[in-house]
Structure 1
Amino acid sequence: MKNSFNVTIVGGGSTWTPGLLMSMCKMKDRFPIKKLVMYDIVEQRQAVIGEFAKVLLKEEYPGLEFSYTTNKEEAYKDVDFVFMQIRTGGYKMREQDEKVPLSLGVIGQETCGAGGFAYGLRSIRDMIEIVNDVRKHSKDAWILNYTNPAAIVAEALRRVFPEDKKILNICDQPVNLLRSYGRVLGMDSSKFEPVYFGLNHFGWFTNLYDDEGKDLLPKLKEVINERGFIPVDAEQRDKSWLDTYAMVQDMVKDFPDYLPNTYLQYYYYPDYKVAHLNPNYTRANEVMDGREKRVFDECRRVAEAGSAKDCHMVHNDAHGEFIVEVAESIAFNKGRIYIVIVENNGIISNIQDDAMVEVAAVLTSNGPRPLAVGTIGTFYKGLMESQLAYEKLAVDAYFEGSYEKALQALTLNRTIVSAKKAREVLDALIEANKGYWPEFK
């Protein structure tokens, strides 16, 4: 077993990268890194983060070999772990993902509905290329993927690389929720044992046990019903995220069985959400005017100052720490429980085996060992099967270049429903995504 590892961050120019770097420094004794490379195809963005990283790592991670590059061989040669967080088309295309559907009266959101469909079809090509590039230079590297929309990406990679057991798709939203539950209860969320089932951005916590085996879910639902719900890092969040977490109270009141993933609000209440989203100023604009500016300004300031000692980087601890914890559990065979995306194969007994489901799993050096969920109720099964059919048809549409499959996918999506509206949205998105999507027959 190795004592230290070579790691590559793909998407080095992401606003999430500084937080990830800070988490690596914080957790260096738990997951020691020998060599770290940042890789991005947009040199100018990455250079700002890269120069910040040089200063931070010199002070906080002495001895670490660090570089940033746009060269694939340099990025992927002799690497043990690849942390993936790409955004095909950047914020310019994210803005289209959100504004085009809203202009037509349906949900415009980064990963849900028509926006998620557009983003997913853009992501597939680049994700396949990256996996092939990694395997060319490091056939045994673990690829830990944050890239959204994770459900569509995971389904596409399952089809193209069915025998590759070292690709693991993950999402930090369940971890954000667990930490937020800890804040609500005044408890350490790292000691929680979650029971969870669903699809990515489409799931439910059915139980949440403390270290004595007591189920905390009844108490949590009671507190949320009485006082509402805020994220663990509420003081750092933009207004749209605070509104998103606040909707959990509505979902728990309407569907009290379980605690929902925050993204379910777009599927439960599509008309309400459309009415309360600004079609001219979406979350993409909020990010570009907010987190994007704050992160890059602080990176430039630190690089110019030559010290990160007084760094005031705004970042999401859960995002950075979760992927490092997953790598640690795999690298050192820790056998910890995390919520990850895996092929169903009977985990949820009344959902098809080839579904890419999001469930709790024990993570070892051999990868995830999912924990059985069993049979789920009719309401949740119906929701999941509809969403799953949408995801599979979306991936079919990509690989087959099929307009018909794309139309079927969007018609099934609960944020749209109407076939006439789905066609209108699809035609608009085809125009907006020229050069990114395959040509549909």
Structure 2
Amino acid sequence: MKLAIVGGGSTYTPELIDGFARLRDTLPVGELVLIDPAAERLELIAALARRIFAKQGHPATVTTTASVTDGARDADAVLLQLRVGGQAARNEDETWPLACGCIGQETTGAGGLAKALRTVPVVLGIAEEVRRVSPDAWIVDFTNPVGIVTRALLSAGHRAVGLCNVAIGFQRKFAAHLGVQPELIRLDHVGLNHLTWERGVTLLDAPGGTAGREVLPELLARFGERIAADLRLPPGLLRRLGVVPSYYLRYFYQHDIVLEELRAKGSRASEVAAIEAELLRMYADPELDTKPGLLGKRGGAFYSEAAVQLIAALLGTGNGAGSGTGVQVVNARNDGVLPFLPDDAVIEVPAEVGSAGVRPLPQRPVEPLYAGLIAHVTAYEQLALDAAIMGGRNRVHDALLAHPLVGQLDLAERLTDRLIAHNRAHLSWA
């Protein structure tokens, strides 16, 4: 089996390598190609990957290239984890919106739109090359904003699925609270990427089973304070709603509070840049043959497990599911699952994943409090995708005007001007 990682020079790649090495019985990787134009970083990461595989007794070969054509040729799956503009662009996404009184964040709000505009054209170009040299390969997108990028890929007819670590993170944390195996926890997870709610948590009788009991009320009663503290949301909100929102709902439910926090502490990008510099120094140590603990502060916990589960299911090498049933939370085409959204919207829900593809499972009706926001953000995502593909100031403005965190004419005007000014080098039409 051949896998390729576009963005293989990322400091995050050793997390994936660690998962591939540990879970080789589920996903028997024979060849791994790291693709990245940053040659020096790429060779540094590749050397560490080889040491991690060797320590685990894994037989996979690791090669590198700057060419998507060469790296993706005959691949079974291609993973996308690129950041157009690097941490410098992320830092701008997280700072210039603050001057307009809006949150600065790399996937949500004006900063998230800027990232989408930079990213979508690049990803579509990569995907076309993958289709040319490996037409049967699956494209697994980790690149944010995952919902918009995955929608772009699916709309262009690619064999693609999006993956986020929010759901598997909740699964692991809930299992730890209850003292059970993660495979016994199944989530009623619904929404869009970075806009989701856990409306139910089932404790299965056995891994891979279908019978179980609902334990979300118990989790909230026993561990509600700890869960809320982890999300930095008021415990009373969780108790009143009876659900667990994702951390990203803070940007909507407590916008002004978060805005002041961001203004006071500076961007997350600067923290990540410092972590990355230290990680690269550690990776250069020829004695290092495990992922360092510092990598956990980089973000993306449990991504490797989620990736292995998903790819194994798609390629038919394992059951591919955290619950052991072939069900995994992914970003996939709606196709009527949430009837208040267009069929071509990309939603984040549990889906049956297998060699035949990805099929989101039916969902019970979504409560108006959540459905309204989901529909609002979906409309924004469609406009954001239009702006990313076709360009133009008016399309950027429309997307911002439609966003729930903007929604005011003068504010959208100011944000549009700043977005274009800060991203002109990445916008072919600007």
Tell me, yes or no, whether TM beats 0.5: yes
Asked if residue 219 in structure 1 is aligned to residue 218 in structure 2, the reply is yes
> Residue type matched to 1:69 in 2?
T
Which whole-Å CA distance do the structure 1 matches of 2:349 and 2:214 have between them? 18
Paired residue for 2:289?
308
Matches within 5 A, 1:361-380: 361-380=351-370
Asked if residue 295 in structure 1 is aligned to residue 279 in structure 2, the reply is yes
Which whole-Å CA distance do the structure 2 matches of 1:286 and 1:229 have between them? 24
Which whole-Å CA distance do the structure 1 matches of 2:237 and 2:429 have between them? 39
Paired residue for 2:139?
143
Tell me whether 403-412 or 202-211 shows the greater mean CA deviation.
Answer: 403-412
Question: How many angstroms does 1:228 deviate by?
Answer: 4.2
Paired residue for 1:199?
192
Which whole-Å CA distance do the structure 1 matches of 2:386 and 2:234 have between them? 33
Paired residue for 1:415?
405
CA contact (8 A) 2:192 2:347 kept: yes
Question: How many angstroms does 1:246 deviate by?
Answer: 2.6
Which whole-Å CA distance do the structure 1 matches of 2:312 and 2:234 have between them? 31
CA contact (8 A) 1:73 1:137 kept: yes
CA contact (8 A) 1:270 1:414 kept: no
Which whole-Å CA distance do the structure 2 matches of 1:356 and 1:396 have between them? 15
CA contact (8 A) 1:350 1:374 kept: no
Which whole-Å CA distance do the structure 2 matches of 1:114 and 1:14 have between them? 25
Question: How many angstroms does 1:412 deviate by?
Answer: 2.2
Q: Identity of counterpart residues, as a percentage? A: 29
CA contact (8 A) 1:228 1:248 kept: no
- SS at 2:31's partner residue? strand
Asked if residue 270 in structure 1 is aligned to residue 248 in structure 2, the reply is no
**Cα gap change, 1:158 to 1:142, in 2 (>3 Å):** closer
Paired residue for 1:249?
235
CA contact (8 A) 2:3 2:31 kept: yes
Paired residue for 1:352?
342
Paired residue for 1:101?
97
Paired residue for 2:78?
82
Tell me whether 364-373 or 346-355 shows the greater mean CA deviation.
Answer: 346-355
> Residue type matched to 1:426 in 2?
T
Matches within 5 A, 1:10-49: 10-49=6-45
Counterpart selection for 1:55 from 51, 71, 81: 51
Which whole-Å CA distance do the structure 1 matches of 2:301 and 2:201 have between them? 21
CA contact (8 A) 1:342 1:357 kept: yes
Asked if residue 153 in structure 1 is aligned to residue 137 in structure 2, the reply is no
Asked if residue 402 in structure 1 is aligned to residue 392 in structure 2, the reply is yes
CA contact (8 A) 2:195 2:249 kept: yes
> Residue type matched to 2:260 in 1?
A
Tell me whether 430-439 or 217-226 shows the greater mean CA deviation.
Answer: 217-226
Question: How many angstroms does 1:229 deviate by?
Answer: 4.3
Question: How many angstroms does 1:190 deviate by?
Answer: 2.1
CA contact (8 A) 2:331 2:348 kept: yes
What are the ranges of 5 or more consecutive residues in structure 1 without an aligned counterpart? 231-241
Question: How many angstroms does 1:103 deviate by?
Answer: 2.2
Paired residue for 1:134?
130
> Residue type matched to 2:341 in 1?
I
**Cα gap change, 1:111 to 1:250, in 2 (>3 Å):** farther
> Residue type matched to 2:202 in 1?
Y
**Cα gap change, 1:25 to 1:190, in 2 (>3 Å):** same
> Residue type matched to 2:311 in 1?
A
Which whole-Å CA distance do the structure 2 matches of 1:350 and 1:374 have between them? 12
Which whole-Å CA distance do the structure 2 matches of 1:23 and 1:344 have between them? 29
Tell me whether 346-355 or 267-276 shows the greater mean CA deviation.
Answer: 346-355
> Residue type matched to 1:54 in 2?
R
CA contact (8 A) 1:9 1:38 kept: yes
Question: How many angstroms does 1:346 deviate by?
Answer: 1.4
Which whole-Å CA distance do the structure 2 matches of 1:329 and 1:310 have between them? 25
Which whole-Å CA distance do the structure 2 matches of 1:62 and 1:192 have between them? 30
Question: How many angstroms does 1:222 deviate by?
Answer: 1.9
Paired residue for 1:173?
166
Question: How many angstroms does 1:251 deviate by?
Answer: 4.3
CA contact (8 A) 1:91 1:288 kept: yes
Question: How many angstroms does 1:52 deviate by?
Answer: 1.3
Paired residue for 1:235?
none
Paired residue for 1:184?
177
CA contact (8 A) 1:298 1:313 kept: no
Q: TM-score, normalised by structure 2?
A: 0.91
Deviation digits for residues 101-128 of structure 1 (CA, Å, limit 9, x no counterpart): 0122210011010110000111101110
Number of positions where the alignment pairs a residue of Structure 1 with one of Structure 2: 415
**Cα gap change, 1:426 to 1:279, in 2 (>3 Å):** farther
CA contact (8 A) 2:337 2:360 kept: yes
> Residue type matched to 2:193 in 1?
N
Paired residue for 2:208?
none
Which whole-Å CA distance do the structure 2 matches of 1:323 and 1:11 have between them? 15
Which whole-Å CA distance do the structure 2 matches of 1:269 and 1:378 have between them? 19
> Residue type matched to 2:295 in 1?
V
What are the ranges of 5 or more consecutive residues in structure 2 without an aligned counterpart? 206-211, 320-324
Paired residue for 1:234?
none
- SS at 1:314's partner residue? helix
Deviation digits for residues 280-322 of structure 1 (CA, Å, limit 9, x no counterpart): 72100111112x1332122111x2x3x5269656345511111
